[in-house]
Amino acid sequence: MSSLLKTFERHVVKPRLRRLKPWRHTIYGDIRVNYRDHLDGGGRTSEYLPLFHDLGMPRQPRVFEWCAGPGFIGFALLGHGFCDSLCLADVNPEAVEACRLTVAQNGLAERVTVYQSDNLDTIPSSEQWDLVVGNPPHFIDISRGELRFHDEDWNLHRRFFAAIGRFLKPSGMIVLLENNRGSTAETFRSMIEAAGLCIVFVRGCEGRRTPYTRTYYLGIVRRGDTVPSWALTAGK
């Protein structure tokens, strides 16, 4: 009985209590982003902006944020002028609600599209992206049951790599934020290559898993595509 009560508390009581919490806000440029603490998987404090600034990345026509949560990374790129338009997707309906609330309150309906989707499963093929970013779950063996952190057998990553190619424009780049505590670049190389993609840069990753949190970036492109010039020196 105790296990049933714990399951009920975890899957019914706690989610309902979380939804009673007030929205919090953070600002990117002129965009006020809505979130609740339990939706933040670390994207609010990521370093995508200085990374792309240092690389001299030109303004991108359309950016997609995978595993968007409240859309911290995507809205930051849009709010600070790194892209013209934005696409966001997440499996969590509360995260999608947060994104749509931000879109409505900031008058962004003409520039931002939001999907509720299990990975890329229900995103229409008409979506085509110049740049894909994301802060996906970082761990295979810890944080079990936590949607924000745990990726069982790396299945989320495998499905993403297998499907993303059809949404990339020619020379479209994928730049993922990963955690050296949970993986290295080599963790993903075989699944990336099996999907017809290739790693073109690794930034900030040690050659083994670390006992502490250390974020790193993986730059990925479709095999055979021309690598954008801004990405050529990213791993140096």
Domains of the chain and CATH, by start: 2-231 (3.40.50.150)
pLDDT tier, 102 (very low <50, low <70, confident <90, very high otherwise): very high
Q: CA–CA separation, 129 vs 164, rounded Å?
A: 10
State the pLDDT at residue 15.
Answer: 53
Q: Read off the pLDDT of residues 184-216 as tens digits, 9 standing for 90 and up.
A: 999 999 999 999 999 999 999 999 999 999 999
Strand 129-134 relative to strand 112-116, pairing: unpaired
Q: Read off the pLDDT of residues 9-44 as tens digits, 9 standing for 90 and up.
A: 444 445 555 666 789 999 999 999 999 998 887 778
State the pLDDT at residue 148.
Answer: 77
Q: Whose structure tokens read 């970082």? A: 138
pLDDT tier, 8 (very low <50, low <70, confident <90, very high otherwise): very low
Q: CA–CA separation, 234 vs 229, rounded Å?
A: 10
Please tell me whether the overall predicted TM-score, pTM, comes out greater than 0.75 for this model.
yes
Q: Read off the pLDDT of residues 76-89 as tens digits, 9 standing for 90 and up.
A: 999 999 999 999 99
Q: Does pLDDT of 2 surpass 70?
A: no
- Sheet with 83-90, strands from edge to edge, namely 112-116, 83-90, 60-66, 129-134, 168-179, 215-222, 197-203
Average pLDDT over residues 215-224: 97
